[in-house]
Amino acid sequence: MIQMTRRRILGLLASAVLLIAQAPAFGQETHPAPLKVLFIGNSYTSVNDLPAVVAGLAEAAGGRKIEVDRHLVGGCTLEKHVKDQKAIDKIRAEKWDVVVLQEQSLRPVIDRQSMHEFSRLLDAEVKKQGAKTIFYLTWARQHIPDMQEGADPAKSPEYAKVMYGISGVSKTTDLETWCQQQKAGLVGGLNGAYLDIAKELGAGVAPVGIAWKMALATDPPFVLHNPDKSHPNPTGTYLAACVFYATLLDASPVGLPGKIQQGDKVLADIPDDQAKRLQEIAWGAVKPVPRKAAPSPFILGADISWVQEQEDQGTRFSDHGQQKDILTILKDNGFNWIRLRVFVNPQAPKGYSNKGYCDLDHTLKMAKRVTAAGMGFLLDFHYSDTWADPGHQVKPAAWADLHGAELEKAVHDHTQSIMAALKQQGAAPDIVQIGNEISNGFLWPDGNVWKSGKWDVFCGLIKAGIAGAKEVDPAVKTMIHLAWGGQNAQSRSFLDKALAQGVEFDILGQSYYPKWHGTLDELKANLMDLAGRYKQDIMVVEYSVPNIREINDIVHGLPGEKGLGTFIWEPTKWEGPALFDGQGNTKPEIDVYPKMVEDYGRKR
């Protein structure tokens, strides 16, 4: 069985949980010792006295207390903190449990290399004292929202120009050169800069910026910035404090007061209804895990490639009357993987979308959301500008005159470049499909294998795609996707010929729609035979209503745990739609998924 490897953000958030206090011996005071936290940063921490608000929340909760201290210098970078030595002296001065590191607000984007260099030096000092580093992942400036998640300077030139202007290097470095030098920071944004260094160092992250982005997207949105569009107002600081409370104590802040005092001094005074919403957002950012259903080792996936287009058209998704992000709804109901399709150039003549949906740029954005949600990610390469299926496998327009080695190179390079872009932003897929429903070949006419009989040509193209993916991520799992869920003879004939040509892949994916692929009994008979005949694991990578439970039971019940899981196809839009109505509300059909998680979790 493959394991879900998409745990980057979840793993970093989990590493921030601090189990420092030991259970007291008999007769000792039963209250745990206060958690001693040192904040090192600048005005983003000092404005509204964030450390004191964090300590006040812990005091109000009545559990473990948080004792805070600070070394804060307005506008200071981590580099300056290291070079003036005072921060290091402060780290060495006492026995801390946690040291919080906050970089200057722009540095992670405009000089990521420097941020990481001096983060390593400070973290080394923290480790010498036996303490834990927590990075304070900050927010984007109000007028530069792309700072949070980053953007490709080639596709967001205004963002690049603004950051270039702020960097102050215009007299020595031209824009194009600077963008190349700082591309990692520009593309990764604040999230990437903090999460990547935290992963490298085994540190934790307080995802304040992620929580801010969530709060700014609510309806109505919260106002979190000061008029200077940079620093936090009291509401922004309160949200940050809730994130730190949840991160440091691994406890939900929901239910804590909105008014925090230190003696006679009022540190925060947020109306109760707003405080509750902010607390829920903070907890959702720190603990983005299902609330209804525990994770299942069996893949329960959904292809939601239409969602970006639906959202742009105004669709808002709701579960039992509560509006939520689509990924939250799916996770709440037991889904743990997402599948996305990507075309070569969907804006080409006769392409999939004149607005570019399911191109690289849209895929990068959606992949970030999937990664941030802690879900597994399957990428479906349609080697075409439009739909690829058993009756329609048209070459991309740009490849129309390519054949032989040139076409193989195009497949290889396209696959490699998509994978590299996803990996660069920390959202590489766990599984890739080399083509979509390639039962009758792909990249016609060259790869129209049943018509041409040239299995060497067709399989050379498959191998080129696999090589392109593996060169970027040797651990990625590769899938061959057929549309013969109930057709055993055809499935065997295809696989025998492909394997004879030396095609090496990890997973066999099948589509199953009863009107094209036979009865449930035929599906079961086919998959049972394939599971016993071939070494590859098996998935039903496309299906829909009806018979959700029956299809999943068949795959789950394959011998030797060869059935990895399933992906329902476009449940927000197709066949009804399957799990959502036309307004984006969940339908009763979705209720089968939490039950499957429960049942399958017990059986494995």
Q: Single out the catalytic residue among 158, 542, 570, 589.
A: 542
The answer to whether 310 and 573 are in contact (CB under 8 A) is yes
Q: What is the DSSP string of 312-372?
A: HTT---EETTEE--HHHHHHHTT--EEEEEE-S-TTSTT-S-TT-TTSHHHHHHHHHHHHH
How far apart (Å, rounded) are the C-alpha atoms in residues 52 and 46? 9
The yes-or-no answer on residue 437 being catalytic is: yes
Which residue, among 311, 329, 413, 319, has the nearest Cα to 366 in the 3D structure?
311
> What are the angstrom distances between the C-alpha of 533 and each of 77, 235, 496, 525, 526?
60, 61, 10, 12, 11
Length of the chain: 604
Beta strand residue intervals within 362-512, DSSP E: 376-381, 431-434, 477-482, 507-511
The answer to whether 180 and 186 are in contact (CB under 8 A) is no
420 in helix, strand or coil? helix
The answer to whether 404 and 361 are in contact (CB under 8 A) is no
Q: Single out the catalytic residue among 79, 408, 437, 570.
A: 437
How far apart (Å, rounded) are the C-alpha atoms in residues 188 and 566? 31
CB atoms within 10 A of CB 530: 21
Q: What is the DSSP string of 29-49?
A: --SPPPEEEEEEE-HHHHTTT
H-state helical runs in 129-259: 157-167, 175-181, 183-201, 208-216, 234-249
CA angle 94–195–432, rounded 5-degree value: 150
How far apart (Å, rounded) are the C-alpha atoms in residues 327 and 67? 36
How far apart (Å, rounded) are the C-alpha atoms in residues 39 and 50? 9
Q: Which two tokens stand for residue 319?
A: 């579960």
Name the residues annotated as catalytic: 437, 542
